A and B are shown apart, each in its own frame.
Chain A
């Protein structure tokens, strides 16, 4: 396997391992102008600072976060990973639809991420796919206020 693919897989593994645990790692993984889309923030995050800020909120909102790789695949400048994360929701979770107050519930959910890397080997694009309905159900809240049309849809045009 090409060295560049090994380096990318290493970045993917570090990103997944850091979820909910250590937002400072983001500085070594993402390009300064990286963009991230996910089904929760809807409009996505533009820039490494915004990505790290969101991650810092996640770290504060969770305890015992443990995100594990299920599979990693790659092609050209793209990599894809499946993961499963567990953790306890132990702090306010700030979503665009509103803040979910601490539930102290243990949650487990699966998701997938597609990454595009730049020439420096840093993550330039990060797109998450997972089921917000299932996540909210575990937290015991309704998704009724969620807004449609995520950033991924706009990207595809």
Chain B
């Protein structure tokens, strides 16, 4: 039978997607546990804590406009929820990248991505791991990721 708790955990991803679409760093941070940990391709050292999550997303939401999320699939089991989606956005502000600061290019970017959340008993994201290709993303913005 469909477990209610798994449905509730899928809801966490929907709220996550809504916060991205609204570029709402506070709402996004509020979905995370106080000691949440993020693991992303361009942040090998990780992002630790709800406040760090907010600070991580604020500049991104200043640099990107018209964010849209097209969800392809959501799957859940136990305390893990996985989702694949395609993010589209327009790059309209200075973006801090591993290759340096990128001034606004006004380009449209399309980023296929997968996220896996471990959701705790309070229904908050305790761990988030994102998978996407920075080479493709940077290339769409006209950056050569090879020369850092």
A interface residue numbers (CB < 8 A to B): 39, 71-75, 78-80, 82, 110-112, 114, 127, 129-134, 136-137, 141-144, 146-150, 152-153, 155-156
Contacts and interface: CB of A to CB of B under 8 A. Distances in A.
B146 to A, nearest CB: 2
How extensive is the interface on chain B, given as a class? Answer: 20 to 34
A133 B114 contact: no
A110 B116 CA distance: 12
Interface of B: 41-42, 70, 72-77, 80-82, 84, 86, 110, 112-114, 116, 129, 131-136, 138-140, 144-147
B144 A142 contact: yes
Given A75-B75, A148-B139, A39 B146 contact: no
A156 B112 contact: yes
Interface of A is mostly: mixed
Given A143-B139, A153-B112, A129 B132 contact: yes
The 9 closest A-B pairs by CB, nearest first: A142-B146, A131-B41, A80-B82, A133-B135, A129-B131, A143-B135, A133-B134, A152-B112, A39-B133
A148 B113 contact: no
A74 B136 contact: no
